[in-house]
A and B are shown apart, each in its own frame.
Chain A
């Protein structure tokens, strides 16, 4: 958890001019292209040559049994694996046409473009308002009115505004798990990403909070490209447009979610989603 907070802090500390804040109502079309990507942790080959194209403004779900490489693969998109010892990668990952593993790439800048939401909600021990405003302030925005507008906008985007508008000074730690997770998503949105990565974002939430986050994901895809790792088959089928099934470091099948869950091409996929193995 400490590592995750550290990464979030790093992401939001990059200074950008206030006038570069993009109108959040604008649609950002972000694509991800993966070409023959292989990953090793020391001698362990975690990803064995994957090609994948992720379309803009879609939700793509990664499914597969534990240890299949789906989280490793997701974390490649914002270079989170760089922190892992003995991590080694081959192949190309292009975001909006640019290879994100080029030496000159500014990783902090990249993580502003590609936000991440983790399994457990991880708000800062600050007020609700400050959690969302934190990144904006560190970006050098001093205009209080602008900050306020952006915070409200982000809280509205995650459907949290109505629940917290009278308690913005309250500690974020006092919110429920589901509210904390939506606050974390709001914090991610505040730095204007075009892609949001979610690693099992609802696995620690109750069904009502899960439904709210799912509804939010569905709404957010209008503006963002979303990639989500989930162990919940029904969640993948409910919210995603495309589903990728991973097994033992390989991409077994990647197709429209409707096809994967009604008539998958590969027997292995069918066996997994129907619970016959995995």
Chain B
């Protein structure tokens, strides 16, 4: 068992590393986008290789752990959860990569009044807080911290829903901003998706720790 425990600990550390890297990728993508910093965006793009390598390493370790140690109970839930968490984190990093690509490919800076009207900063801040919550939940096996993201995800959903009418109104005011508006609309969709992925991660952490399946559960 000592070896199985050791392998599990290593996998747990790799999961924490993936979470940390993806958090940094997203934060850098945010800064690059808000400040139109193409150097920072390039850094995110280059770091994607690291994310992919770690994703593969975790996948392989999970496969090895399943094949060699036949996990059951909490070990089985851990391995099931870590595979899904890894998958979701890799998707989050993909979104950070795509946003950074916009920064590099689009020359013009997004007009600040548009960002403000769309509550862009609030959206990013909410995502950062959600990432802090799941990091705490993952590292300390803290189910309460994991549950905090559900409410925050609703904030993102609302911003996403509102974005259509906000952009419509802005375009009516000035139809020269159509390309920027479309870009923003696409980024907002990505950020909303990031929120969903973080919510999925929180659900997996709850499943792993409490054996409770919360996904697809509607509040009565």
Interface residues of A (CB under 8 A from B): 233-234, 237, 261-264, 269-270, 273-276
Contact = CB atoms under 8 A, between A and B. Distances in A.
A267 B71 CA distance: 16
B72 A276 contact: no
Interface of B: 1, 4-5, 70-77, 211
Nearest to A237: B72
A182 B70 CA distance: 27
Contacts of B70: 233-234
Contact of A273 (B4, B5, B72, B211): B72
B1 A261 contact: no
A224 to B, nearest CB: 27
Nearest to B75: A274
Q: Counting chain A CB atoms within 10 Å of each CB, which of B1, B73, B75, B77 scores highest?
A: B73
Given A262-B211, A263-B211, A273 B73 contact: yes
Contacts of A270: 73-74
Instruction: Determine the main DSSP class of A at the interface with B.
Output: helix
Given A262-B211, A263-B211, A276 B73 contact: no
A178 to B, nearest CB: 22
Contacts of A237: 72
Nearest to B210: A263
A174 B211 CA distance: 50
22 contacts: A233-B72, A234-B70, A261-B73, A262-B73, A262-B77, A262-B211, A263-B77, A263-B211, A264-B73, A269-B73, A270-B73, A270-B74, A273-B72, A273-B73, A274-B1, A274-B73, A274-B74, A274-B75, A275-B1, A275-B4, A276-B1, A276-B5
Nearest to B73: A270
Contacts of A233: 70, 72
A262 B1 contact: no
B39 to A, nearest CB: 48
A97 to B, nearest CB: 35
Of the candidates A237, A261, A274, the one having the most CB atoms from chain B within 10 angstroms of its own CB is A274
Given A269-B73, A276-B5, 16 more contacts: A233-B70, A234-B70, A261-B72, A261-B73, A262-B76, A262-B77, A262-B211, A263-B77, A263-B211, A264-B73, A273-B72, A273-B73, A274-B1, A274-B74, A275-B1, A275-B4
Contacts of B77: 262-263
Contacts of B76: 261-262
A132 B73 CA distance: 41
A262 B74 CA distance: 7
A275 B6 CA distance: 13
Contacts of A234: 70
A134 B53 CA distance: 65
A275 B75 CA distance: 10
The 7 A-B residue pairs whose C-beta atoms are closest, nearest first, are: A263-B211, A275-B1, A261-B72, A270-B73, A274-B75, A273-B72, A274-B73
A127 B30 CA distance: 80
Contacts of B4: 275
A82 B71 CA distance: 39
Nearest to A278: B1
B75 to A, nearest CB: 5
A261 B71 CA distance: 9
Q: Chain A CB within 10 Å — which of B71, B72, B75, B76 has the most?
A: B72
Contacts of A262: 72-73, 76-77, 211
Nearest to B74: A270
Nearest to B78: A274
Contacts of A276: 1, 5
A118 B5 CA distance: 34
Contacts of A264: 73
A159 B72 CA distance: 31
- Most B-side CB within 10 Å, residue of A261, A263, A270: A263
Contacts of A269: 73
A118 B186 CA distance: 68
Nearest to A270: B73
Nearest to A234: B70
A104 B219 CA distance: 60
Contacts of A274: 1, 71-75
A27 to B, nearest CB: 31
A262 B76 CA distance: 7
Nearest to A236: B72
A276 B74 CA distance: 12
Nearest to B76: A262
Nearest to B2: A275
A257 to B, nearest CB: 10
